[in-house]
Amino acid sequence: MRSTILASSLFGLTLTGCAATPSEPHADAHGDPQTPTAPPVSERRHKVPLGPDDHPQGGALPLVTVVVYSDYACPPCARTSKVLEHLLEDYGDDLRVVFRSLTVPGFADGERAAEAALAAGAQGQFWAMHRRLFSEPRFDRVTLKAHAEALGLDVPRFLDDLELGAFSALRAQHRRQAISLGIYFGPVALVNGRPVIGYRDEAAWHELLDEEILAARTRMHAGTPRADLYATFQADAGTGPIDLDDEQAEMRRQLAERFPVDINELPADFVRAEAGRRYPVDLLGAPSIGPADAPVTLVVFVDFACPHCRRAAEALRLLPARYPNDLRVVLRHLPLPAHRSAEGAARAAIAAEAQGQFWPFCQRLLTLERPSLGRDTFLAIARDLGLDEARFLADLDGPGAAARVREDMLHARRLGLDSTPAFFLNGRYISGYRDIDALAADIDVELSITKKLQAEGIPRAELITTLLAREGSPLPNPEASN
């Protein structure tokens, strides 16, 4: 909630964006007399391509297409949505509206709401869920389940999609599109590519839409087929951030600095880790097997839905037994956006860790004959391992597991990782899959190096820190800390 309040205090000053907490009441979209005068609509058009994952509402061959970036936790966004609903009634087939989510990274409630709408959309009920989310801005699991039941959705499928982050990649994609346009918080709409910043009343929208309809009809009169109108408007559009006046641009700068980036969104200056170099990998709080003072530490970042990580399962299971006194194996999580179920699997492993069954749970996930990383699978493994089911589910759904996964993902970014499996052997980066024999050969090399350090009189517990002090490199992305 803190992130949303901070967004409100900044963005509401000049862009008429979020100006209240999600629980505050808001006025009807029809003529809010307290809304400040909005800035004029720019004539400049911006490229906003439509995609197969969109859920358009309105005419199939419209004269005007409105793409709106919005957040379910934002009251002015709710009022804008109500205005657009009225406009769809007024303009019929001449208008099409496409909604894109614009969430605050790290604000889990808002992210969950956006993914709930997309999960409902996968069952043909996007707009029905969309209206419910704006009318009742409570986004806990119980409320979302009640919405799904009221809409007649396949509730187990809906909850599975929600819990496993089936649409987190699409939500993040929406945010990346918005950021490329210089949009950080909604509502911001693009009307045939022309930006409308902040809330506007219905009269202002009518004036703008009538102007765009005239422009569309002029193009049709000149020979543009109705089906090609949006494409022709987009052909004239440019790229880059939306133009703002000085005060608005300052607000945008403050927002960009104050809020964390999306963890699936690689920064423009991202530098990938270099194979063979040593990096200081943080081990604090990560589960491990083997002696804490082992002369060799193998850290592996895994994605439980990654086939190459699954191939590495044998090595993770057998290497500790091969080097019982000299090897420590540490596991950290890097669920990739391409794998819809990976983040949920990581949270499930952390939930099992709370009951002392992390490594058996991980091995089961990595060795499933037919990988189906869903809630039912997690529960089945938990039962087989004798876990307390109620506690397991509470930990799976709780904020602690989500925070742990996020910490691992952010550390992976600072290290320069964007693929799995990723191994660090005494800090030395090894990219991609290695079979058990190849890893064993690398371990033997590290043992020979640390034996030389021991011969110098360096204590066993200080071998790796000494090695890193002599050969270690700074993190590839030292500024990517939030």
Query: What is the pLDDT, as a whole number, of residue 259?
Result: 54
Q: Please check whether residue 275 lies inside any domain of the structure.
A: no
Q: Please check whether residue 481 lies inside any domain of the structure.
A: no
Q: Are residues 292 and 395 in the same domain?
A: yes
3-state secondary structure 63-108: CEEEEEEECCCCHHHHHHHHHHHHHHHHHHHHEEEEEEECCCCCCH
| Among 216, 243, 258, residue at a domain's last position | 258
Please choose, from the candidates 108, 51, 422, 48, the residue with its C-alpha nearest in 3D space to the C-alpha of residue 263. Answer: 108
Range of the domain at 116: 2-258
Q: Are residues 313 and 394 in the same domain?
A: yes
Q: Are residues 226 and 162 in the same domain?
A: yes
CB 166 within 8 A of CB 341: yes
Q: Are residues 253 and 300 in the same domain?
A: no
Q: What is the value of pTM for the model shown?
A: 0.58
Q: Please check whether residue 478 lies inside any domain of the structure.
A: no
Task: Say which CATH number the domain at 292 has.
Answer: 3.40.30.10
Q: Are residues 315 and 254 in the same domain?
A: no
Q: Are residues 242 and 315 in the same domain?
A: no
Q: Are residues 292 and 254 in the same domain?
A: no
| Among 258, 273, 298, residue at a domain's last position | 258
Q: Please check whether residue 222 lies inside any domain of the structure.
A: yes
Joined together, the tokens standing for residue 112 give: 């969950």
Q: Please check whether residue 427 lies inside any domain of the structure.
A: yes
Q: Please check whether residue 28 lies inside any domain of the structure.
A: yes
Query: What is the pLDDT, as a whole number, of residue 216?
Result: 96
Q: Exposure of 403 by Cβ count < 10 A (0-12 exposed, 13-18 middle, 19+ buried)?
A: middle
Residues of the chain scoring pLDDT < 70: 1-40, 105-108, 164, 244-269, 338, 340, 370-371, 477-482
Q: Please check whether residue 181 lies inside any domain of the structure.
A: yes
Number of domains observed in the structure of the chain:
2
Query: What is the pLDDT, as a whole number, of residue 7?
Result: 36
